[in-house]
Amino acid sequence: MRRLGISIGLIATVLMGCGGSKGSLIGYVPVSKSVASVTATEATSAGNKPFSFVPAARNVLVVYFGYTNCPDLCPTTMAAVRSAKKMIGNLASQVDLAMVTVDAQRDTGAVLNKYLSSFSDRYHALIPADDQELTVLKEAFQASSSITTNTLGNVEVSHSGTAYVVGPTGDVVVEWPFGLQADSMAKDLRSILEELNSDKGK
């Protein structure tokens, strides 16, 4: 299966540290990227509702574009996020997770919620209502994805592998390329959250 995520992840690795400077963050720091103005459709037990990518004060939101049938990029990244949260102890209570499915035809609310529950105790299952909503979200985060059906009728999904950490202002504060290890994610999360918890971050 051809995957955009692997090549994009490698490009992001090369670019790490080439963005704006923010302390000693390991991931790539974008110069300016705000997602405060976009909303997504969240599937909850009470039905669909609008979701804002602006986390609560002193909290961060880890956002990922993927799908539950993904055999490699998604489970690898989600497992790394889960491990990173364990590494930061009590600070993990300030970390939320949201996954935007790029395969809305197969990822129902029940399927995506169950999937995310195995990786985090705080999560949001985001299922775009239509292609336009997904396009807007991908443009805001500069993510990518495509779905094709091969000659055998099998669905093939490609998607970028970057995870985005959004701060309480709705700005993307750091991006993690595919393959970044959990300890590096933990270091970034600890650095960001300690700053948010300090007098300077209030």
Render pLDDT for 18-68 as a digit per residue (tens, 0 to 9): 444 356 899 999 989 999 999 999 999 999 999 999 999 999 999 999 999
186, two tokens: 């933990």
pTM assigned to the model: 0.87
Instruction: Name which of 40, 43, 34 is nearest 107 in CA terms.
Output: 43
Checking if the pLDDT of 5 tops 90, the result is: no
> Do residues 38 and 140 lie in contact, with contact meaning Cβ atoms separated by under 8 Å?
yes
The predicted-structure confidence for 135-194, as pLDDT tens digits, reads as follows: 999 999 999 999 998 888 888 999 999 999 999 999 999 999 999 999 999 999 999 999
Q: Which domains does the chain have, with CATH numbers?
A: 4-31+51-201 (3.40.30.10)
Instruction: Name which of 9, 17, 14, 15 is nearest 80 in CA terms.
Output: 9
Confidence of residue 13 (pLDDT cuts 50, 70, 90): very low
Lowest mean pLDDT among 55-69, 90-104, 109-123, 148-162: 148-162
Residue 33 in 3-state DSSP?
coil
At residue 53, the pLDDT reads 98
Q: Residues, the chain, total? A: 202
**Residue 34 identity:** S
**Residue 22 identity:** K
Angle at 193 between CA 190 and CA 194, to 5 degrees: 80
